[in-house]
Amino acid sequence: MTLTRRHFLSATALTAAAISIPAPAVLGATKEKKYRVALVGSGGMGKNNLYSAITTKTVETVALVDVDRKHCESGFEMVKKNTGEEPKLFNDHQEMLEAVKPDIVIVATPEHWHPLITIDACNAGAHVYLEKPISHTVNEGIAMLKIARETGRTVQVGTHRRCSTAGIAAKKYIKEGNIGKIGMVRAFVHYTAWGGKDKPAPDVPTPEGLDWDRWCGPAPLVPFNPKIHPGGFRQFLNYGTGQLGDWGTHWMDMILWIMDDQEQFPSSVASSGGRFLWRDNTDAPDTQSALYRFDNYMVEWEHRCYAGNAPEKEHIGVYFYGTKGTVHIGDGTWCVFKNQNKDAAPETPETPNNEGNIQVLWRNFISCIENKQKPICDIEHGHRATTMALLGMVSLKLGRSIAWNGEKQTIPNDPEAVKLLSREYRNPWKYPQ
Ligand SMILES: NC(=O)c1ccc[n+]([C@@H]2O[C@H](COP(=O)([O-])OP(=O)(O)OC[C@H]3O[C@@H](n4cnc5c(N)ncnc54)[C@H](O)[C@@H]3O)[C@@H](O)[C@H]2O)c1
């Protein structure tokens, strides 16, 4: 269904259009503005991505798609306020692709929808800026990569930490051999916040203006629950991929990027965890560890959604442990911990800030579309990082370790585990091949 302008300009629409993005500098139409962009999933991160794209003055926003009318409307207000443009509004991405034929589609829905929208956009001739994790199951990611290559479309994934000055400086420092040989890498996310997790939230009638059946899409249809939408889907495994998929994909990407001179696939994965404290109606683990065995090093993942990490002072990020020192990369920060010997790593170099990771990522995306090059967070990198996270979830669900053949992208001699590399789709949607 196309949401008409008239529909949009109802009194309720105007009052509901609160925008959380800080007021930017006025950006009028410019000569450089030439890529016709459509946003699919006009929620928190979708608007953030689109706003960043607008600030680079490389786009004209032609359409917004969301199954929640309120989110379409707040996206419209944000675009209008910053550019004066009035994008068309839709709740069905296929109708939008047909009607508008955008040059670029931003995919920022929950991950159970990423595969179909990305594949449809590539097949319609659009380049794609795709949020992480790229897929909900591993075989969807394989299909997405295949279609991106077959159609020759540029697909940039939103793992923007590759563009952070902290990440770039830390990678250079590690690559120069300053921390010696690395045998272990540990990524983690520990939250202190603990509110609302002690009891379930009841299902309620679907809010007006939300097409809940389409929100659930290829995933199971359940009664509407305010813990799922907006934003809460991450901790519901029908739609999200838990903390490991949500946050872990970022850190797995940093690890694969920084360790790039070594092999890119783990040969085995073992994960355990559980819901030890959460008593609400989410179903993702509140506590989880995962171990990935590479030929020359181990990767460890750990999260707990409570208690922070006061003893280590860092509650988020990744440690690279080397023979001469340890590097920590956090959320926009990095530092070196020197070993206590004469062969210790040098001090942390000064690192200036840049204009913002997503702007840098977007400029790289546009330049790669123009020069037909692979972007910095190409879909293949996004797929590999997502696969790391998803294999951890497969092992957790099975309650045992699994092997991984990265060349063939399968779990060898283990039909029970292979089943979890795909999922059933609800009619009428078809699992991508
Ligand atoms: N790269 C990053 O740093 C980063 C940060 C936050 C979120 N994300 C990713 O962005 C994605 C969205 O997360 P969010 O926090 O913005 O969630 P959100 O719930 O705020 O927004 C998702 C939006 O998608 C809409 N939607 C659902 N199905 C749709 C469909 N079929 N067609 C159109 N719209 C549909 C929802 O109504 C909602 O408005 C997730 O994949 C998340 O992992 C990435």
Query: Domain 2-161+372-378 adopts which CATH fold?
Result: Rossmann fold (3.40.50)
Closest C-alpha to ligand 1, atom 17: 231
Q: Whose CA is nearest to atom 40 of ligand 1?
A: 110
> Would you kindly state where each structural domain of the chain is located, as residue ranges?
2-161+372-378, 166-218+227-351+381-419
Query: 391-425 burial string, b = 16+ CB within 10 Å, else e?
Result: bbbbbbebeeebbbeeeebbbeebeebbebbbbeb
Pocket test for ligand 1, best of 20, 45, 136 (most atoms within 8 A of CB): 45
pLDDT beneath 70, residues of the chain: 1-33, 193-194, 261-263
The CA-based dihedral angle spanning residues 82, 88, 91, 93, taken in that order and rounded to the nearest 10 degrees: -100
How far apart are the C-alpha atoms of 35 and 255, rounded to whole Å?
32
Ligand 1 neighbours by CB, cut-off 6 Å: 40-46, 65-68, 71, 93, 108-111, 113, 131-132, 158, 160, 214-215, 217, 229-231, 246
How confident is the model at residue 167, as a pLDDT?
A: 95
Ligand 1, atom nearest to 229 Cα: 19
- The CATH class that applies to domain 166-218+227-351+381-419 reads alpha beta
Could you tell me the pTM of the whole model?
Answer: 0.93
What pLDDT is recorded for position 262? Answer: 64
CA-nearest of 363, 337, 248 to 299 is 248
pLDDT in tens, 226-241: 999 999 999 999 999 9
Q: Report pLDDT digits (tens) over 242-299.
A: 999 999 999 999 999 999 866 679 999 999 999 999 999 999 999 999 999 999 999 9
The length of the chain is 433
